[in-house]
Amino acid sequence: MPINYYIITAIALFCIGITGVLTRRNAIIIFMCIEIMLNAVNLLLVAFSKMFHMAYLANPAKAVTSGIDGQLFVFFIMVVAAAEVSVGLAIIVMMYRNTHSVDVNFLNRLKN
């Protein structure tokens, strides 16, 4: 499959994520949108990694990289995302306990 499809899919996912973050007020949905954006990036990384790896297999002498380091990054991002989710969900839980709402616009005490 050509690389373009992966790129377009990743951009679409990323834009969906951004739109979600910008437009929704529910903290959990914003969180999910962030995850979508992260996964769009992951998808892109894996796709490019695969592309470079195929090129490496075809002609190892001319290749600049073996193409596995991109896949390694994906694991890092997943780990970071997992840590982030645990912290983020904890914050949302605390927020709900204090305000009985998960609306982010409700938290504007630092304004001005």
Partner 1 sequence: MNLIYLVPLFPLVGFLLNGLCRNYLNKSLVGIIGSGSILASFIVSLIVFFDVKAGHTGVVSYFEFINLGKFAIPFAFQVDQLSSLFLLIITGVGFLIHLYSTSYMHEEESQHFARYFAYLNLFVFSMLLLVLGANYVIMFIGWEGVGLCSYLLIGYWFKSIPYTNAANKAFIMNRIGDLGFLIAIFWIISKVGSVNYTDVFSSLNKFSTTDLVVITLLLFVGATGKSAQIPLYTWLPDAMAGPTPVSALIHAATMVTAGIYMIARSNILYSHAHVTMHIVAVIGLATAVFAATIALKQNDIKKVLAYSTVSQLGYMFLALGVGAYTGAVFHVMTHAFFKALLFLGSGSVIHAMGGEQDIRKMGGLGKYMPVTHITFLIGCLAIAGIPGFSGFFSKDEILAHTFSESPVMYCIGLFGALLTAFYMFRLYATTFKGSFRGTHDQEHHLHESPAAITIPLIILAVLAFAGGYVGIPEFIKPDAHALDNFLSPIFAESKKVLGNHPLEHNTEWMLTGISTLLIVIVVVTAWSKFAKKADVEDPQGFGKVLANKWYIDELYDAIIVKPVYGLGRFCNNVLEKLVDWIINGVGRSVQYGSRQLRLLQSGQVGSYVLFMIIGIVLFFVMQFFFKK
Contact footprint for partner 1 (CB under 8 A): 18, 21-23, 25, 30, 104-105, 107-112
- Distance, in Å, from the CA atom of 58 to the CA atom of 42, rounded to the nearest integer, reads 24
Task: Read off the tokens for 63.
Answer: 């290749």
**42 and 78 in contact (C-beta within 8 Å)?**
yes
- Closest to partner 1 by CB, 59 vs 105, is 105
CB of 22 to partner 1, least distance (A): 6
Residue number with CB closer to partner 1 (68 or 93): 93
Of 22 and 58, CB closest to partner 1: 22
Element (H, E) at 56: helix 27-58
Q: Please, what is the Cα angle at 32 between 80 and 108, to 5 degrees?
A: 95
Task: Tell me how far, at minimum, the Cβ of 98 lies from partner 1, in Å.
Answer: 16
Q: How far is the CB of 104 from partner 1 (least distance, A)?
A: 4
